[in-house]
Amino acid sequence: MFDTYLTMYVKPNPPGKLSPGQFERIAKALADPRRFEVLETIAAAKDECAYARICDRIPVTKATISHHLKELVQAGLVDTQRDGQYVHTRIRPGVIEAYTAELARRVGGAVGAMGDGGNGGGGGA
């Protein structure tokens, strides 16, 4: 499946599954605070969010917004759809759910250990 700009191929993954390397791409995409702000803006729109709305809410150039959207699309977090001169974006909730499940699987034990003071449940001194 090509993105709406026909510039990159984004392989759709089965529902609830991440493609190989996608976990790392998502982590990298979310590590940028401005990109995370773009994602939050899209998510706040409920169904879909117009590109112009993102540009109105985030004080950076349109080129910077486009770059962040490209990274979010490549990570599989959002889809874009062109409607004439307008671009609409939407969250891919299944991908976000799969990412959070994989994150919990990978660090779930460490989070549990942190809940008991980080001593692995040994009781302490």
Q: Looking at residue 64, what is its pLDDT?
A: 96
Q: Looking at residue 17, what is its pLDDT?
A: 84
Question: What does the pLDDT average to over 108-120?
Answer: 63
pTM: 0.76
Q: Looking at residue 2, what is its pLDDT?
A: 47
Banded model confidence at residue 118, pLDDT cuts 50, 70, 90:
low
Per-domain residue ranges for the chain? 22-104
Whole-angstrom Cα distance, residue 10 to residue 3? 7
Whole-angstrom Cα distance, residue 74 to residue 8? 8
CB 8 within 8 A of CB 74: yes
Q: Looking at residue 108, what is its pLDDT?
A: 84
- State the fold for domain 22-104: Arc Repressor Mutant, subunit A (1.10.10)
Whole-angstrom Cα distance, residue 16 to residue 66? 27
Question: What does the pLDDT average to over 104-120?
Answer: 69
Integer angstrom CA distances of residue 119 from 104, 105, 111, 123, 125: 19, 20, 12, 7, 10
pLDDT at 125 over 80: no
Integer angstrom CA distances of residue 43 from 26, 40, 79, 86: 16, 5, 12, 18
Q: What is the pLDDT of residues 27-46, one digit of tens each?
A: 999 999 999 999 999 999 98
Q: What is the pLDDT of residues 75-97, one digit of tens each?
A: 999 999 999 999 999 999 999 99
